[in-house]
Chains A and B, each alone.
Chain A
Amino acid sequence: MRSRDRKNERGTSLFLGTMALVFIVPLVGLFIDVGVLYAAKARLQAAVDGASLAAARALVLGETTTAQASAAQQNAVNWFYANFPTGNWATSGTVMSTSSVSVFDDPNNPDLRNVTVTASTTVPTYFMKWFNIASTTISASGNASRRDVVAMMVLDRSGSMCNGGSNPCTGTSSTPCGSMVTAAKVFTGEFAEGRDRIGLISFSDSSYVHSAPSTSFQSTLGYTNDSGSGTGQIDNISCSGGTSTAQAMGMAYQLLYETNLPGALNVILLETDGLPNALALNFYDSTNNAVGLNSTDNACKDTSGKTMNGGGFKTAGVIPSWTPGLQLNASPFLTTNPLFSNVPAGMVATIDSSDPGSTTFWSMINYWTTFGQTQSTGTTSYPYNAVAGSGSPSLLTSTNSPGSNSCTFQGTGGYGKSSIPDIAWFPATDIMTNQLNPSAYSYLSVTTDAKGHILNNNWTNFHNAVMNATDNSAYLARSNTTLPVTIYAIGLGGNSTTGPPDPVLLQRMANDPNGDTFNATPQYSACASETNCETWSTQPQGKFIYSPNATSLGTAFNAIASQVLRLSK
């Protein structure tokens, strides 16, 4: 009996093991089929994600929002099938077309457009088909959004942009000025007319607001892209004069602040070919009831007719008006939500100094009358500064004294003065509240008096103050928690031999910790290894590009546009 039992046990393991395969094989098959489904689903998901990102990028294509939505839908289809070709992973019956793409405004943020892409496909099974499950349909949905861009272009139209040629030079000339105009129009052509808002300020000794940020920027400013081109305010730029960067940056931020779209991507694009060398200053310090004139000055009178040497300038009531002031919340600025108050009439003037090569002061300018408000276009006598009326703008020469409230200051050495002895100090801030010697941080060191005024002791002190104020203008724009701004900077080399763009200053302004990623041979190092370079991790990080010559300027503008468009997703 026991023998029979043993005989019966023979082959039991083999039998059971084989029988178990009936269950194990389908089980393994199920795992594999499910695995394939998961893998196909991952592919499909990534394909719709890629398509939605590409669609969001395409929201800049077209002159109207409707055309942009159509472009986004078509791009989504293009990118989807590039990622998920017909038959991918043996799939079939893939459903994805322009009707699978929806473009809509975000209900909680009017400055955000969303793109949703859906797709489905049928995945065959390899084992489960034995159980009459031949295929499974899977679907995926991807979403991407694009923030509208609000950008101010701040373009340098100083004389060095003519690169030694006739001055002023126009935007149509074969000069860096002309290259800048061409590149700026390509830049505007990259953005979404009707949704994005772009404005323009050009600056030399003073700044001119061509346009506040506007959704019709392509027709207002001009543009060039694959659809065509148009002329506008950019084409009107002509170049001459100094470099008053801080003032232009302050005015640009005022315009962004007034536009008041914190849900959008707020951007300042600064292009400059040299060192800042001019500041717009108010020489009456109302807090301390002091004026920045030396007591030895015999040339300038208050409204009671007294000079400093003669006991004048003692009260606010006798402070003269060198300029009529500047409206910062009236056209061409906007009328709502101003950050900066109007600049009142007073002892306001622009100090224009030289670059380090000559270390002189060129002029003290009061051609403020139409400052920032109007500009002659084309190539009229002073298209760069909107000088009203006749007469030289220089007040440093003894022979020129335009306007009844002007002052003829003393100086030595002709037009380029090695000193301006009638000036005792420069105020602690410029008219756009940029600090010449920031308390929390400072780029370059300056000497001050007990009241914080910047001493007029030598050219270097003023130069450093101008650099600080320019740096501070960017800092103020980035650090404002109500409307933080991302700053992009392009430094154009090859024009000014005495004062080429300062990479450290522009790295600080853009808050860019990286070294040169634009040129074949890096022109500057990462911020951490540069003297006096500092960036702030809590503030928006932009990008600085050093364009070694005007030929590369278009590529530099394109690189910035590409960066902005990437971040607007």
Chain B
Amino acid sequence: MTTERRKKSRRGQEIIEFGLVAVLYVPLLTGGFVVGMNLIRSIECNQTCRDLTDMFIHGADFSTYQYQQLAQKLAGGLNLQIGSSFSGNEQSNTGNSGNGLVTVTEIMYVGTTSGAQCQSVAPATCTNANSFVYLSQVQFGNSSLANSNTVTLGTCPSAVMNSAGIVQNPITASQAQVGSSGQSAMSSLWQSGSNGTTALTDGQTVYIVETYFQSPDLSIGSFAGNGVYARYFF
């Protein structure tokens, strides 16, 4: 009888002990898994961004479906959606679902009105002197992911671009100017002169690829695996 009581009293003891250990293990292992997965995705995101920079510098036109498809393949597993095929060029192909957004931007610094860029137009019409201007921008993926953290240098107004994302009058069109936050970011990065850097000169161009991939499957309540982001200047 005594033995039976003792057996009964031990029922659930392992479960309780397991539960106590699990309090330590589950967050540890789950956190480790989430952090690890995000690190892996971060590396994948970086690699995708690097690959796209390499393609772009060698002439890839990401306003065409053909090259967007290649980008999608490079981002395999990150769920970059580009929708159904299209012919010709589309500056913006962002009406898609999926977890990815890619922005390819070309920005030029326009110097003073006496510089070659302003002199190439009538200097009096050189609206964008002493500022950064968009030369081109192409975006594809899921537009709902676009915000100041994922498209850090702003979005070029479509009114000044053609279907291939090329800005028509970058020197004279005021809308071609990078927005104020983008101007600040570019100035901070490029014109500060820290670490032995020198300021960009009139006409110098910077190519930028930005990739963002959200991770809804790694969200744990408010500890959301919001996503991974990479940006490269080249």
16 contacts between A and B (CB under 8 A): A6-B6, A11-B17, A53-B57, A74-B198, A78-B198, A78-B200, A82-B189, A82-B197, A86-B194, A186-B116, A226-B111, A226-B201, A515-B89, A517-B163, A519-B168, A566-B56
Digitize A330-372: 1 where CB-to-B-CB distance is under 8 Å, 0 elsewhere. Answer: 0000000000000000000000000000000000000000000
Task: List residues 493-519 of chain A with CB under 8 A from any CB of chain B.
Answer: 514-519
CB pair B61–A514 under 8 Å, yes or no, is yes
Q: Which residue of A lies closest to B16 (CB)?
A: A14
User: When the two chains form their complex, are residues A522 and B88 in contact, meaning their CB atoms are under 8 A apart?
Assistant: yes
**Is A3 part of the binding interface, using a Cβ–Cβ cutoff of 8 Å?**
yes
B17 near A17: Cβ-Cβ < 8 Å: yes
B71 within 8 A of A: no
Q: How far is the CA of A447 from the CA of B129 in the complex (A)?
A: 57
Q: Which residue of B lies closest to A29 (CB)?
A: B32
**How many pairs of residues, A versus B, come closer than 8 Å at their CB atoms?**
162
Among A54, A83, A514, the residue within 8 A (CB) of B64 is A514
Interface centre among A3, A17, A78 (most CB of B within 10 A): A78
Cβ of B220 under 8 Å from chain A: no
Which residues of the other chain, A, contact B233 by a CB distance below 8 angstroms?
50, 54, 79, 82-83
Indicate if the CB atoms of A554 and B120 lie closer than 8 Å: yes
**Are the C-beta atoms of B58 and A569 separated by less than 8 Å?**
yes
Is A97 engaged at the interface, CB distance under 8 Å to the other chain? yes
B234 touches A50 (CB 8 A): yes
A224 within 8 A of B: yes
Residues of chain A contacted by B11 (CB below 8 angstroms): none
Q: Which residues of A contact B196 (CB under 8 A)?
A: 77, 97-98
Given A54-B233, A78-B197, A78-B200: A517 and B39 within 8 A (CB)?
Answer: no
Q: Is B162 an interface residue (CB 8 A)?
A: yes
**What distance in Å separates the Cβ of A50 from its nearest Cβ neighbour in chain B?**
4
Partner of A38, one of B39, B116, B190: B39
Chain B residues with CB under 8 A of A47: 232
Task: Identify the stretch in A18-26, A166-174, A308-316, A377-385 within 8 Å (CB) of chain B at 4 or more residues.
Answer: A18-26
Task: State whether A17 and B21 are in contact (beta carbons under 8 Å apart), knowing that A3-B6, A98-B196 are contacts in the complex.
Answer: yes
Q: What 3 pairs across the A-B complex have the smallest Cβ distances?
A: A17-B21, A517-B164, A35-B39
Q: Which residues of B contact A (CB under 8 A)?
A: 6, 10, 13-14, 17-18, 20-21, 24-25, 28-29, 32, 35-36, 39-40, 42-43, 46-47, 49-50, 53-54, 56-59, 61, 63-64, 87-89, 111, 115-116, 120, 161-164, 166, 168, 189-190, 194-198, 200-203, 205-206, 230, 232-234
Residues of A within 8 A of B230 (CB): 46
Query: Counting CB contacts under 8 A, is A31 at the interface?
Result: yes
Q: Which of A512-537 contact B (CB under 8 A)?
A: 514-522, 525-526, 529
Which of A25, A81, A517, A554 gathers the greatest number of chain B CB atoms within 10 Å? A517
7 extra interchain contacts, Cβ-Cβ under 8 A, other than A10-B10, A53-B57, A226-B202?
A: A21-B25, A39-B43, A46-B53, A50-B233, A79-B206, A520-B168, A566-B59
Verify if A134 is at the interface (C-beta below 8 Å from B). Answer: no
Residue from B13, B25, B36, B89 in contact with A10 in the complex, judged by beta carbons closer than 8 Å = B13
- Indicate which residue in B20, B50, B61 contacts A14 across the interface (CB closer than 8 Å): B20
Within A280-325, the residues touching B (CB, 8 Å) are none
Q: Which of A11, A13, A77 contacts B197 (CB 8 A)?
A: A77
Interface size class of A (residues with CB under 8 A): 35 or more
Within 8 A of B (CB), among A459-515: 514-515
A66 within 8 A of B: no
Q: Which residue of A lies closest to B231 (CB)?
A: A83
| A:208-242 near B, CB below 8 Å | 224-226
B47 partner residues in chain A, CB cutoff 8 A:
42
**How far does the Cβ of B131 sit from chain A's closest Cβ, in whole Å?**
16
Q: Are A86 and B195 in contact (CB under 8 A)?
A: yes
Q: Which residues from 362 to 420 on chain A have a C-beta closer than 8 Å to any C-beta of chain B?
A: none
- Complex interface residues of chain A between 240 and 279 (CB less than 8 A to chain B): none
Task: Contacts A31-B32, A32-B32, A517-B63 given; indicate if A13 touches B18 (C-beta within 8 A).
Answer: yes
Q: A36-B39, A79-B233, A225-B116 are in contact. Are A49 and B50 (CB under 8 A)?
A: yes
User: Is B49 touching A21 in the complex (CB atoms < 8 A)?
Assistant: no
Find B36's partner among A18, A31, A83 (CB 8 Å cutoff). Answer: A31
Q: Evaluate contact between A569 and B57: CB separation under 8 angstroms.
A: yes
Question: Bound state CA distance, A416 and B53, in angstroms?
Answer: 55
Instruction: A38 to B6: give the CA distance in the assembly, Å.
Output: 54
A18 to B21, CA, bound (A): 7
> Quick check: A42 and B53 within 8 Å, CB to CB?
no
A144: min CB distance to chain B, Å: 8
Q: In the bound complex, what is the Cα–Cα distance between A529 and B49 (angstroms)?
A: 33
State which of A53, A81, A96, A517 has its C-beta within 8 Å of the C-beta of B53: A53
The chain B residue with its CB closest to the CB of A7 is B6
| Docked pose: A35 CA to B233 CA in angstroms | 24
Distance of A28 Cα from B35 Cα, bound (Å): 10
> Which of B43, B162, B200 contacts A517, CB < 8 Å?
B162
Say yes or no: B21 contacts A13, CB within 8 Å: yes
B-chain residues with CB within 8 Å of residue A516 when the two chains form the complex: 162
Closest CB-CB distance, B211 to chain A, in whole Å? 11
* Cα distance A226–B110 in the bound complex, in angstroms: 11
> Which B residues touch A562, using CB under 8 A?
205
Q: Roughly how many angstroms separate A6 CA and B2 CA in the complex, as a whole number?
A: 13
In the complex, residue of chain A having the shortest beta-carbon distance to the beta carbon of B91 = A517
> Which chain A residues border B120 with CB–CB below 8 Å?
182, 186, 554
Q: Within the assembled complex, what's the spacing in Å between the Cα atoms of A78 and B233?
A: 10
Picked from A96, A225, A520, A526, the residue with its CB within 8 Å of the CB of B162 is: A520
Find the B residue at minimum CB distance from A552: B168
Q: Tell me which of A6, A77, A96, A522 contacts B163 (CB under 8 A).
A: A522
A222 CB to closest chain B CB (Å) equals: 14
B42 touches A39 (CB 8 A): yes
Query: CA separation between A526 and B201, bound complex, in Å?
Result: 36
Chain B residues with Cβ below 8 Å from A97 are 196
Bound-state Cα–Cα, A79 to B200, Å: 10
Judging by beta carbons under 8 Å apart, are B232 and A14 in contact? no
A529: min CB distance to chain B, Å: 7
CA distance A569 to B54 in the complex (A): 10
In the complex, the answer to whether A17 meets B39 with C-beta atoms within 8 Å is: no
Beta-carbon contact of B88 and A526 below 8 Å: yes
Cα–Cα distance between A85 and B232 once the two chains are bound (Å) = 12
In the complex the two chains form, is A517's CB within 8 Å of B234's CB? no
User: Assuming the A-B contacts A24-B28, A42-B46, A518-B164, are A566 and B58 also in contact, with contact meaning beta carbons closer than 8 angstroms in the complex?
Assistant: yes
Within the complex, what minimum Cβ distance (angstroms) separates B114 from chain A? 11
